[in-house]
Amino acid sequence: MTTDATSTTNAVMRGESGASLASAQERFEPVLVAAGADAKLLGEQLFALSDALDGSGGLRRTLTDPSLPAEAKAAVVRQLLGAFDDRVRDLAESLVALRWAQEPDLGHAVEHLALEGVLASAQAREALVTVEDELFRITRLLSGQRELRTALSDPQATVDNRIALVDRLFEGKVDDVTLLLAHRATTNLRHRRFVPNLLAYSDIAAERRRRLVAGVTSAVDLTPVQLDRLAGILERAYGRPVQLNVTVDSAVLGGLRVQVGADVIDSTMLSRLADARRRLVS
């Protein structure tokens, strides 16, 4: 399954910005764990900060200016976030003390940490797998619904109208975190459209569970034994647990297509991986 997650992962924010985001994640993760289900509030407040950064070039320039003392930037944060949770203010102050290669990277980092917060709240309720599955199912549901996809990504429509459409489609049918992320996906159209946003969020959910996401398209339904075998082959090949998102499509040539990130693997390649594994252990 491919995603356009270019603005939400430190894998893409390399160099100074990637290191800064990684540092912030390490600092914030214990806070999220301690917050439990309340981490959702922290995520929502970070979304608001991300929007403020995205909407004000002056604010971005001030908070990413390496020539300004960290305390001066922290004072701006305290004034801006006076009504926010102390944990969000503390995180924001630590973020502006870090170095960012480009102005937008700070906002992207805040957006990523907001997503981590919202997803951590689902994880605390043992609902993260449910949220990830629902995000995937929504994207599959919309794959054949061009008019709906267009309406959910229409920049000419008001944000309130797009959110109302999300509610009509999904409210009461999905987890609260899934619904919140769907709201965010239709609100935050600056870098991606609705469906690519959801796919990016699903990848971050998978990362929280320390799993890669493998999009599997099969000509026929796979049995539990086949799924276990496929997951095992991929996990040994990538050295990490792999989450399988399976779609059945009779038009798939060769019977099976697997995509992990930018890697596309057909049935023949899977057989070679399995054979190579057997030779290594024999």
- Average pLDDT of the chain? 87
Residue 1: is its pLDDT beyond 60?
no
For residue 114, give Cα distances in angstroms to 88, 133, 157.
10, 20, 25
pTM of the model: 0.73
Task: Sketch the domain layout of the chain as residue ranges.
Answer: 15-208, 212-281
For residue 265, give Cα distances in angstroms to 50, 235, 237, 238, 270.
36, 14, 11, 13, 7
What confidence category does residue 56 fall into, taking pLDDT thresholds of 50, 70 and 90?
A: very high
Task: Give the pLDDT of residue 15.
Answer: 83
Residues making up the chain, counted from first to last: 282
Average of per-residue pLDDT across 140-151: 92
* Burial environment of residue 21 by CB neighbours within 10 A (0 to 12, 13 to 18, 19 or more): buried
Residue 57: is its pLDDT beyond 90?
yes
Decide if domain 212-281 falls under CATH 3.40.30. yes
Task: Give the pLDDT of residue 244.
Answer: 81
Q: What pLDDT, in 10s, does the model give residues 26-37?
A: 889 889 989 999
Q: What pLDDT, in 10s, does the model give residues 37-53?
A: 999 999 999 999 999 99
Task: Give the pLDDT of residue 91.
Answer: 97
Residue 235: is its pLDDT beyond 70?
yes
Task: Give the pLDDT of residue 46.
Answer: 98
Q: What pLDDT, in 10s, does the model give residues 81-123?
A: 999 999 999 999 999 999 999 999 999 999 999 999 999 999 9
Task: Give the pLDDT of residue 263.
Answer: 79
